[in-house]
C-alpha cells in the first residue's frame, strides 16, 4: 500500500507544480508583451490590454489605425512563449494613439491659439473703439472673423468702428451690423 501511495502523492505534486508553472509562464508572457508594446513607438501600450492563458495572448482595446493594431499583433506573435494571438483590438480613427498623438496635439494647440488670438483681437478692438469715443458696441470674434453689433451715435462712428476693426492685427473679416441711433444728430 505504501508503495502505491508514495508514487500517487508524487504524481499529484508534479501535476500541481505543472499548473503553477503554466500560470507563472502566462504571467511572464503578459509582462513581456506589455513591455514590448510600451517600448514600441508605433503602438499605444496604454490603450491595449493583454491577457494570457495557456500561451494564448488576447489583445483588447482601441487604437486609431489598422497599422497600430497590426503592429501590436506582430509584437505579441514575436514574443517568446506565445503560441497564438487573438487580436480583439478595435480601430477607431477618433481615438488617441501613438500614430496620431502629434496630429491631435497639433489640432488642440491650434484651437488654443485661435481662442487666445480671438481674445486678443477682442481686447485690442474694444480698447481702440473706446479710445476713439465709440461706445455701445457688442463685438463677437471667431477665428479672426469680427461681427460688430449694437448702436452708435452717427454714421461716421459706424464707419470708423468698421475701419478700426479691419485694421486690427489678426482680423480676417468684418461684418458691420451696427445701427445708428434714430434720435442722434449728425
Q: What is the pLDDT of residues 37-82, one digit of tens each?
A: 888 877 777 788 899 999 999 999 888 888 889 999 999 999 999 9
Neighbours of 89 (CB within 10 A): 21
Name, in order, each residue with C-beta under 8 angstroms of 131's C-beta and a sequence gap of 6 or more. Answer: none
pTM of the model: 0.45
Would you list the domain boundaries of the chain? Answer: 2-91, 101-180
pLDDT for position 103: 64
CA distance 158 to 47: 55
pLDDT at 96 over 50: yes
pLDDT at 105: 61
Q: Once rounded to an integer, what is the mean pLDDT over residues 105-125?
A: 72
Q: Look at domain 101-180 and name its CATH class.
A: alpha beta
**Which tens digits make up the pLDDT trace of 161-175?**
999 999 988 899 999
Q: Which residue has the cell 505543472?
A: 18
Amino acid at each position: 500500500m505504501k508503495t502505491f501511495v508514495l508514487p500517487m502523492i508524487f504524481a499529484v505534486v508534479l501535476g500541481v507544480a505543472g499548473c503553477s508553472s503554466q500560470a507563472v509562464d502566462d504571467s511572464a508572457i503578459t509582462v513581456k508583451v506589455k513591455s514590448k508594446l510600451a517600448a514600441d513607438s508605433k503602438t499605444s501600450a496604454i490603450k491595449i490590454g493583454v491577457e494570457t492563458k495557456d500561451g494564448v495572448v488576447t489583445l483588447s482595446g482601441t487604437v486609431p489605425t489598422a497599422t497600430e493594431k497590426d503592429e501590436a499583433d506582430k509584437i505579441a506573435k514575436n514574443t517568446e512563449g506565445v503560441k497564438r494571438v487573438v487580436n480583439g483590438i478595435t480601430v477607431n480613427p477618433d481615438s488617441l494613439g501613438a500614430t496620431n498623438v502629434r496630429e491631435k496635439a497639433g489640432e488642440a494647440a491650434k484651437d488654443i491659439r485661435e481662442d487666445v488670438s480671438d481674445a486678443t483681437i477682442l481686447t485690442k478692438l474694444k480698447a481702440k473703439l473706446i479710445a476713439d469715443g465709440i461706445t455701445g458696441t457688442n463685438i463677437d470674434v471667431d477665428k479672426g472673423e469680427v461681427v460688430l453689433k449694437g448702436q452708435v451715435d452717427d454714421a461716421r462712428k459706424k464707419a470708423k468702428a468698421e475701419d478700426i476693426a479691419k485694421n486690427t492685427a489678426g482680423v480676417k473679416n468684418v461684418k458691420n451690423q451696427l445701427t445708428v441711433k434714430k434720435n442722434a444728430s449728425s
